[in-house]
Structure 1
Amino acid sequence: MSEELPQPDAAGDEAAGQDRAAAGERRAADADAWATAAAEDLEAEKARRRAAYGPPPGSAAEELRRLVDTVADKLSGLQSPLLGPVAGTAAQQVVRQVVQQAKAAVEPVIERNPDVFDHLAAAGGELLAAYRSAVQRQEHRWTSQEPDPRDGDPRDDEGGPDAGPGQRIDLD
């Protein structure tokens, strides 16, 4: 007996290839369905959080742009009853012109350097933390019961070559 394997026919190869292709498509479809379901769940969770907590804050550049727009809207809508109707209209036109000039000056800077505003915001946060730390330390020193040894007053020393009958009063 010979150990020869039978020669596969062309129809058998095609059937096996089609079975493998169908299995691959099913796996791809399953992976795609999983990815789609995960993306839908993520979007639903984001929508739920936006509804509960409001929109997430944007970058510092976007926040600055929104601030400029809000201030511009408030200033443009501001009417002064003290100036009267004629002067009030002229004042509104001047305010609108100033607001437009300010926006025209700020917008290009924001568009060119959006990362700079993020760095400035971070630096401002660090400065605020350092200031808060210094103030807390100073307040603690002011309110503590024990006097700080560094705050010794040399005038409290009795005697000395300049000691006279009077006492110096510090008006500070």
Structure 2
Amino acid sequence: MPLLAPPAPAPALRSILTALASPTAVRGSRTPALIRHQGPVSPEHPLPVHIMDGVSAAGGPPCTRLGGWRFQLRGRDQLVAAAEAGLTPDGWAFSHFVEGPYVTSTERALRQVESLPALFQARLLSIPELYMLTLWLHADTASDGLTGRPAPDDLLVPLAPAPPGIAAHRPHRVADLLPVLTHRLTPAPLLRTTA
């Protein structure tokens, strides 16, 4: 079943198009893959990027916040890189270009989950403390994509490279994966020594 994606804000897309068209506007921020690529690239598959900041104190769903919008950048016949726009006090603005394994891993995960029988809204969930990025399949397909928390029946597909012990490109129910993430994000208790 095809994934639903909330529409990206028009100013976010414009900021990416401006950055792609004007090397002086983003001097020094182009990735090696974009520098080597010959020909135009076009943004596609915009996904909201939510950031999980630690673990919920009450043990409930993790707190997330919208961090920006990521667009895959495709050349004529290949995926080249990605670009992100972030929300600033003045509105949506180009943030940075991205290349590396998460770009191709995102494309692979999007293709992989299209065969799921249920309909989901696609998002990205970043967990900076674990250096982890997942494709978040949100069951509330009517959501605006800008808010919300991972629900127990939502799916998370860790992108490669995933942290040790977490299978990449395997859909996990949030209720099943969250305890593993919580365990890894919970600070270890300080050891007390007696003198």
TM over 0.5: no
TM-score calculated relative to the size of structure 2: 0.19
Report which structure shows greater RCO (CA 8 Å, sep ≥6): 2
Which structure shows the higher helix fraction?
1
Higher strand share goes to which structure? 2
TM-score, structure 1 normalization:
0.21
